[in-house]
Amino acid sequence: MKKKSMFFSLITILMVLLIILSYKISTEKSAEESKLASTQIRIKMLNTFINNLEDVYFEDMLNVASKTALQTLSNYTANNNQLTNVNEVNKKPGDFETVMLFGYLEDNAGGVNCDESLCGDYGKKLSDAQFIRYKNYQYRDIDKDLKTPLMQFYSFFDLLNKTENVLENLGIRTDSFSISLTDLEQETNWNVIFTATIDYHFVDKYKIAAWRGRTEKLINITIYGFEDPLSGKTIKKNWKEDIGPPASCEGSQCQYDYICFIDKIKTDTD
């Protein structure tokens, strides 16, 4: 009888242990499944954010930065200042590029070395190829030449920095990022265009996922309402009747063959 009682006691103990073990396995499995589910949800949300970044936010940042830069260059020229080159010349960055991306203007006469200006502020954000493009020139902050600063906080890399701060809070770091621009071109009397190509590589801090991509954005800037670089007046509907400076024509006064905003802000060296 004692053996039978002991046998049933052992069975009872084994059953209890089995129940405890089963519960423990079930709990661990449930926790693991919950962890997996939450990870899947997080990655899905991040995929959506990166897709929106490529499809919408990059273009929004380019629109804001480029329109602000063009208005800045217009105001700068209207104050009797001269630009070096609006667009790239012999692989040398143009003024529109450096102002739009960084808020800096090339100035090899009285500027500051790149390490203490553009490269010092943004060098860590640049790819090796981009850094090489800028490192041999001197720059100055263009806002310092304007009555009212315009580029502060609105250059492309300033806007990108805010976006990267959001990404870091979501657990994503920027592994690499580069941007290149085509020349600024006049499409119509009222519109200036360029194309930006962006390459990016973002990595999840837990090394679960990564996002690498390339996107091209055609940016169209409306100059209506800008300051006329020559007269200083606001560009309105009479822009098409604008009279060019005497030096540009054989006679004392004549109209441009093609009314071009870019021609007004660039110099003879461009």
- How does pLDDT run across 249-258, given as a tens digit for each residue? 444 444 444 4
What is the DSSP-derived secondary structure letter of residue 182? P
Query: Looking at the 3D structure of the chain, how many domains does it have?
Result: 1
Does 185 fall in a domain?
A: yes
Does 80 fall in a domain?
A: yes
The string of pLDDT tens digits covering residues 144-162 is 988 889 998 999 999 999 9
Q: How confident is the model at residue 210 (pLDDT cuts 50, 70, 90)?
A: very high
**Considering the chain, what is the average pLDDT of its residues?**
80
DSSP-assigned letters across all residues of 91-147: TBPPHHHHHHHHSEEE-TTT-EEGGGTHHHHHGGGS-HHHHHHHTTSEEEEGGGGSS
Q: What's CA 219's distance to the chain center, in Å? A: 13
Does 235 fall in a domain?
A: yes
Highest mean pLDDT among 39-48, 105-114, 245-254: 105-114
Does 6 fall in a domain?
A: no
Residue 260, pLDDT above cutoff 60: yes
Strand ranges (DSSP E) for the chain? 104-106, 112-113, 138-141, 172-181, 185-186, 191-204, 210-222, 243-244, 254-255
Does 188 fall in a domain?
A: yes
Does 124 fall in a domain?
A: yes
Q: Which two tokens stand for residue 126?
A: 């640049």
262 and 192 Cβ atoms separated by less than 8 Å:
yes
Whole-number Å distance between alpha carbons of 220 and 115: 32
In this prediction the pTM is 0.79
Does 228 fall in a domain?
A: yes
Does 51 fall in a domain?
A: yes
Domain housing 194: 42-265
